[in-house]
Each structure stands twice: as structure tokens, then as C-alpha cells.
Amino acid sequence: MTKQSHAFQAEVAQLLHLVTHSLYSNKEIFLRELISNASDACDKLRFEALADTSLYGEQPELRVRIAFDKAARTLTVTDTGIGMSQDEAVAHLGTIAKSGTREFMARLSGDQKADAQLIGQFGVGFYSGFIVADRITVESRRAGLPPEQGVRWTSDGSGAFEVEAITRAERGTSVTLHLREDALEYADGWRIKELINKYSDHIALPIQMEGEQWEEGKEEGQPGQMVKTGEWETVNQATALWTRPKKDISDEQYTQFYEQIAHDWQPPLAWTHNRVEGATEYTQLLYLPSHAPFDLWDREKKAGVKLYVRRVFIMDEAEQLLPRYLRFVKGVIDSADLPLNVSRELLQESRDVRAIREGNTRRVLGLLEDLAKAPAAATPAPTADDAAVTDVQDKNEAQAGDKYATFWREFGAVLKEGLGEDAGNRERIARLLRYASTTSDRASVTLDDYKARMKEGQKAIYYITADSLAAAKGSPQLELFKKKGIEVLLMTDRVDEWSLSFLREFDGTPLQSVAKGAVDLGDLQDAAEKKAAEEAAEAVKPLIEHLKEALKDSVEDVRVTTRLVDSPACLVVKDAGMSLQLERLMRQAGQAVPATKPVLEINPEHPLVKKLEGNPHFDDLAHILFDQALLAEGGLPQDPAAYVRRVNALLA
Ligand SMILES: Nc1ncnc2c1ncn2[C@@H]1O[C@H](COP(=O)(O)OP(=O)(O)OP(=O)(O)O)[C@@H](O)[C@H]1O
């Protein structure tokens, strides 16, 4: 093969442009990315060699070496990992294969500052080398291929790369950066060591540098200098972080390890690190991120936990290790019992894996309980500057110790899925729930809080589901509850109604939607009120019959209610029915929903209702009443034009 020139995939060219322009202020991350790739390559070799030890050839040692040459202005990262064949070099170093990176590209806004933050969330891997290099040369040979089948890849990062065959004695890859004029600081032993310390100390492989020592000037007046000794020295700790005792690991090291495995450059909210002994032995290091990833709602989203067996990396995204409703958790599980050749299929059936999953679930719920219990320190008053920047306020929230509020904002809706998914832990999950209510706009009310505030004689926990907080708060169904000072939980997540169908009661008290079934406040209504209601119902019986007839195509039933105070009418569904809001959500999601008709409830005390009987426009008024009730709870009239026509006719 002679030299071949290839154009970068369009997205790569775009990414390169962005990387070199917006990551300018954070140049040093390139080294972390290259070391991380080298370490991944070694993990891959170790894994493939489980089935074929001959892949090690004559080089059993897995390591990363970093060399620099001040005079030539180069920095080289060499690993003894899996390496790349010629085809692989073309495929991997010229395209963007990862869906995550493609998603990232799609989200770029063109605003450099915002984009640079986004990069933080995604990590740009190999291409970050071009922040500091105006040319990169990669030489590689894949494990198992003969020396003549090596490859050299070069590019100046401007649109194309060249590939040629070379003979390479060693297996693995070396990446040489030809440093830009303004990045010469990276051809310096101290600087490199500092970065390894900062970013890669926890990498389980030895990272080596050639030793240097000070040599005085040979002649009088000549300055001394550092010279290389020819000995390679390991400069990192080179033990997998999770295998070290907790007390030897600093918060900073935990955070850096998180950044590495989660590819998230924002510090985690919290973590839990344990060695579990007993029938199933494993080490768990699990993190709660501080913000939701872009693909949290992707049904195909992979779990974020890596599986190791006795420190050998086995697989990313081992979804059996945590239930789906904890899919936001990142971390590492290192099992002492699983066989090294464990496959995804085997994981599904393994009893050890089941025990690990249960153990992980307990730990994460325990961690959340601890966070929820931690007293929230007083939030510092935002300064005038802060007020304009929501990001800063969010940070304050986290700094102030109210980590649980941050967690809940980012992941609460996912945790709610657990009510349906994990019957065994339903109680624990229920105690972690937070909702807004008629007494708090913030999602901060627990079911325990609610119960403690219940009125004497109140027999249920009341809630309403709606598309937004404003719609929930303005709902006519709340009128009587407000008048009587009874708290109602306001729920606005899509998952709320579904998840509550699994939580019929909390601590012995039933949960009751205020938009379902006839309202029965039981002992909260006194005898006089009940009597008045009965009399009113009797009085409007003929009206009810008329309305039923006029609206027979739209409603299941018409009845009198006491739940309304200021509104003339509202819509409710029957007890076991799906709420109108859920019905709309499911239709929007393209699901077939059986057509159910709601029940129209009217307020016999309302002037509009009183005007109905005998009115020459009865039919129009009846329809307007119905359509307005629909509007009030977030729906749309079936025939909006007819609605407008009717209202206009009455206004004229
Ligand atoms: N040192 C290396 N040895 C072998 N293959 C490598 C090496 N560096 C990069 N590659 C290959 O190039 C691909 C692209 O690397 P890049 O760093 O851009 O993305 P990534 O490593 O897949 O993602 P990320 O860095 O976000 O984890 C890798 O997936 C890998 O196949």
C-alpha cells in the first residue's frame, strides 16, 4: 500500500474546527483523552486475550509510555494495547462512530461558550489532540498481525488524513503530537507529570516516563539542564481506584475517576464505595451525576455501570447490574465470583448478578435517603449578578448542601418509574418522592409531610395531574379543596399518573385523584353542607336531564357537584378511568386510546348554571359549558370553530 489520502467525514471536520477553536482555554485535557484511549486499548487486549493468549506475543506487559522531545517539539503517547489494523485506523480515526458524539454535533449552537460547555459533557477523545498539535502521527499494529501490517496515519487536522503501510516491531499504538508554537509547555517533564497526577492517577495501568536528572553545565558559566536517564519510571499509582481502601482516596480522586468513566466533566453529586462480602463478593463504586444526560429519556439508553471481574474489564453498560429506573447511576462493579468469559446472556441468568443488582439498588436508595435527610444549609442570597444566570443559582443550590433538590430536579421523574418497576422497594421509593402542592410551588413536599399536615377527618392524600404547574394550580377541581384549606399535591410529570397507579396508598392512607370519581370529602363536610348539596341536587334534576340530552354525544353523564366554588362546571373521569391528561399524552405519543367520555359536573350555585333552564340559547350554552370545562383542564374543544361561533353569537 502506498500513501493514500482520505477526506474526513464531514462531521469530523466540523468537530475538529470546533475543538481547536472553543477548547482553547482548556488545552490540557488532550492528555487525559489520549491516556484514556491508551488504557481502553489495553483493556480491550486483555479481554480478547482471555480467549486467545497468543495475542500477547512476546510482549506480556500492558503499559502506557509518554515521551517528549523538546528540540523536535513532539509529545508521544505509546501503549501496548490492542492496536489498529490499517482498515481500523481509517474507520476509527476519520469518522465519528459514536452516536453520542453525533448527538453532540447536532446540538451545537454556534455560540462558542455554550458549545465548549457541551464538549465538557461529551468528551471528544482522540481529536482533542489537535488543540495542541498542528500535526498528529499515529503508528499502530494490531495484536495478532505481523510487523509488516503496521499502519501510519497522519493529518494536520484540516480536512484530510493520509494512511500508509509500515513495518512496526511492537504491538499497540503510538500517537505523536507535533506541538503548536503556543503549546510547547507540553514538551516538559514536570508539566506532563502534573497532568498525569491530575487526570490519570487512578488508571489501573502503569503510566511511565523516562527518568530525568539535573546535569550541571560542563563548562564554567554554562547553564545546567535536565537530561534523560534512559530508565522508564512509573509515574502514577497504577492501581485501580476502586481496589484501594476508602480512606486512601481523596474526594478529588473520586471526582476525577468519575469524570473518566462517565465522560462527564461536571462533578458528581455523591458516591458510594463498598466492598461487599458474603455469598457474593464484589466491590461497588457508584456515582450520582449532578445533571441529566441528553439521552435520559432514550428507551435504548444503556446503563452506566462498567463490569470488571477481578480487575479485568469485561464490559461497558452492563444493564443487568441496576434496574432501569436507576439508569442515571454511573460506576464500576468488580466481581470476585463471575467467570472471566461471562457474556451478556450469561449475566441475565446469573444468581450472582441478581444479588449484585439487589445490593446496588439498596445502596443507591440508601445514598438517596442520606441525601434527602441531610439538612439543607441556608441558600446564600443570590447577588444581582447571579439572579440573571440560572446556572449560578443551580450551583448555589448544590453548594448549599441541598443536593437532594438537585437530584430530584434532574432525575426525580426517572426514579418515579421505580414505583411500577420495583415492587419490593416501593415503600422506600415512595418516601423519596417530592411534589409541588397547593402550599408549595417547589417540588419539595414528601408524602410524610403531607400526611403530617392532613386535616382532621381527612381520609385520603389528594392529588391532581396536569400538563403544567399553572394548569394544575388553576384547575377548577381544586376550588373546594382550596376553600377548605385542604392540601392537594400538584403533579406535572408525564410519568406521574402511570407511576401512581402502582401506589394506591401510602402508609395506610389511600391516594385519591381530585379529578377522578365523585368527590367525597367524608367527614370534612359538615351535615349542613351535605344537606344543602342534596337539596340543590334535587332542585336541578330537570336541568341535569336536559344537559344529558343536549350533550349526549360528548359526555358519559352529567351530575351535580360540590367541588366547585367559582367555576360553573368541570370534567372528571370515572374512578378507574384514565385521566383526560393521560389520554392526551398517550394520543400525542401515537398510542391507541379507547375513546372514553368524561363526566360533566355542574355547580348549581353558579349564576351561569342558574341562567340555563328555560334559556332560548340552551343548546349553545350547554356546549359552551362543556367546551370551557375542557379548556380549563388543558384540553381543546373537538370543534374549535363551532365553539367560537357559539360564543360570538351570544356576545353579539
Ligand atoms: N490508542 C489507541 N489504540 C487503539 N485504538 C484507538 C486508540 N486511540 C483511539 N483508538 C480508536 O479510535 C476510536 C476513536 O477514538 P476517540 O477517542 O475519538 O473515541 P472513543 O475513544 O471511542 O470515545 P471517547 O474518547 O469519548 O471514549 C476508538 O474508539 C478506538 O477504536
Nearest CA to ligand 1 atom 29: 92
Q: Is the pLDDT of residue 398 over 60?
A: no
Mean pLDDT, the chain, integer: 85
Pocket lining: 204 vs ligand 1, CB cutoff 6 Å? no
Encode 41-67: b = buried (16+ Cβ within 10 Å), e = exposed: bbbebbbebeeeeebbeeeeebbbbbb
Does the beta carbon of 173 sit less than 6 angstroms from any atom of ligand 1?
Answer: yes
- The alpha carbon of 37 and the centre of ligand 1 are apart by a number of angstroms equal to 5
* Residue closest by Cα to atom 13 of ligand 1: 92
Tell me, using a 6 A CB cutoff, whether residue 92 lines ligand 1. yes
Kindly give, in sequence order, each residue whose CB lies less than 8 Å from that of residue 330, ignoring residues fewer than 6 positions away: 258, 261, 262, 264, 268, 286, 287, 289, 304, 305
Probe residue for ligand 1, chosen from 30, 33, 37, 98 as the CB with the greatest number of ligand atoms within 8 Å: 37
Chain center to CA of 426: 22
pLDDT at residue 86 in the model: 95
The C-alpha atoms of residue 235 and residue 109 are separated, in whole angstroms, by 40
The 8 Å CB, 24+ separation contacts for 348-353 are 348/320, 350/320, 351/280, 352/280, 353/320, 353/321
Any atom of ligand 1 within 6 Å of the Cβ of 125? yes
pLDDT at 311: 81
| C-beta of 16 in contact with ligand 1 (< 6 A) | no
In the reported structure, the alpha carbon of residue 141 is separated from the centroid of ligand 1 by a whole-number distance in angstroms of: 14
Ligand 1 atom with the smallest distance to the CA of 33 is 25
Give the model's confidence band at 103: pLDDT under 50 very low, under 70 low, under 90 confident, else very high: low
* DSSP letter for each residue of 100-151: HHHHHHHH--S-HHHHHHHHHHH--GGGGGGGTEEEEEEEEE-TTS-GGGEE
Q: How far is the CA of 12 from the centre of ligand 1 (A)?
A: 14
For residue 36, the ligand 1 atom closest to its alpha carbon is 25
pLDDT at res. 627: 92
Ligand 1 pocket mutation, candidates 11, 16, 40, criterion most atoms within 8 A of CB: 40
Q: Tell how far the Cα of 84 is from the centroid of ligand 1, in angstroms.
A: 10
Whether the per-residue pLDDT at 536 is higher than 90: the answer is no
SS3 288: strand
206 touches ligand 1 (CB under 6 Å): no
Can you list the pairs that 337-343 forms with residues at least 24 positions away whose Cβ atoms lie under 8 Å? 337/280, 337/281, 337/282, 338/307, 338/309, 338/314, 339/309, 340/50, 340/309, 340/310, 340/312, 340/314, 341/50, 341/51, 342/307, 342/309, 342/314
Fold of 527-579+589-651: Four Helix Bundle (Hemerythrin (Met), subunit A) (1.20.120)
Which pLDDT belongs to residue 367? 96
Cα 93 to middle of ligand 1, angstroms: 8
Q: Provide CB contacts within 8 A for 57, sequence distance 6+.
A: 143, 144, 171
- Residue with CA at minimum distance from ligand 1 atom 9: 37
Q: How many angstroms does the Cα of residue 130 sit away from the middle of ligand 1? A: 15
Buried b / exposed e over 223-253, threshold 16 CB at 10 Å, is: eeeeeeeeeeeebbbbbbbbeeeeeebeeee
- Give the type of residue at 207: I
- Asked whether 45 lines ligand 1 (CB < 6 A), one says no
Question: Is the predicted pLDDT of residue 410 greater than 60, yes or no?
Answer: yes
**Is the Cβ atom of 56 under 6 angstroms away from ligand 1?**
no
CATH classification code of 241-373: 3.30.230.80
pLDDT over 80 (residue 604): yes
- Answer yes or no: is the C-beta of 119 below 6 A from any ligand 1 atom: no
Nearest-CA residue for atom 15 of ligand 1? 126
Report the atom number in ligand 1 closest to the C-alpha of 263.
Answer: 26
Q: Which residue's CA is minimally distant from atom 19 of ligand 1?
A: 125
Q: What residue's CA is closest to ligand 1, atom 10? A: 37
Mean pLDDT of 95-102: 64
**263-303 pLDDT tens trace:** 787 899 999 999 999 889 999 999 999 998 776 766 566 66
pLDDT of residue 101: 62
Confidence of residue 99 (pLDDT cuts 50, 70, 90): low
Tell me the mean pLDDT in the region 214-237.
86
- Out of 36, 78, 92, give the residue to mutate to test ligand 1, the one with the largest number of ligand atoms within 8 Å of its CB: 92
Domain ranges of the chain: 4-212, 241-373, 434-515, 527-579+589-651
Distance of alpha carbon 599 from alpha carbon 455, whole angstroms: 28
For atom 14 of ligand 1, the residue with the nearest CA is 92
Ligand 1 atom closest to residue 100's alpha carbon, by position in its atom list: 26
- pLDDT confidence band for 539 (50 / 70 / 90): confident
State the average pLDDT over residues 326-343: 88
Residue 422 has pLDDT above 80, yes or no: yes
Question: Ligand 1: does its nearest atom lie under 6 Å from the Cβ of 126?
Answer: yes
Ligand 1 center to residue 89 CA distance, Å?
A: 10
Residue with the smallest CA separation from ligand 1 atom 20 is 125
Q: Read off the pLDDT of each residue in 420-442 and give the average, rounded to a whole number.
A: 95
Q: Is the CB of 263 under 6 A from ligand 1?
A: yes
Position in ligand 1 atom list of the atom nearest CA 98: 22
- Could you tell me if the CB of 41 is within 6 A of ligand 1? yes
Ligand 1 contacts CB of residue 129 (under 6 A): no
Number of the ligand 1 atom closest to the C-alpha atom of 38: 1
Same fold flag, 241-373 and 434-515: no
Query: Which candidate, 76, 81, 56, places its Cα nearest to that of 66?
Result: 76
Query: Ligand 1: which atom is nearest the Cα of residue 122?
Result: 26
CA distance 462 to 563: 13
Question: According to the model, what pLDDT value does residue 266 have?
Answer: 87
Ligand 1 midpoint to CA 314 (Å): 17
The reply to whether ligand 1 has any atom less than 6 angstroms from the CB of 38 is yes
**Domain 434-515 in this protein, CATH class:** alpha beta
Q: In Å, how far from its chain's centre is CA 422?
A: 19
Distance 92 CA to ligand 1 centre (A): 7
Which ligand 1 atom sits nearest the alpha carbon of residue 82?
A: 4
38 Cα–ligand 1 center, Å: 8
Q: Which atom of ligand 1 is nearest to the CA of 77?
A: 1
4-212 homologous superfamily: Histidine kinase-like ATPase, C-terminal domain (3.30.565.10)
Residue 584 has what pLDDT?
73
Q: Ligand 1 centroid to 128 CA: how many Å? A: 11
pLDDT at residue 64 is higher than 90: yes
Summarised one tens digit per residue, pLDDT across range 457-485 is: 888 999 998 888 988 898 888 888 998 89
Return d(Cα 358, Cα 555) in angstroms, integer: 48
Cα gap 380→397, rounded to integer Å: 9
Does ligand 1 lie within 6 Å of residue 93's CB atom?
yes
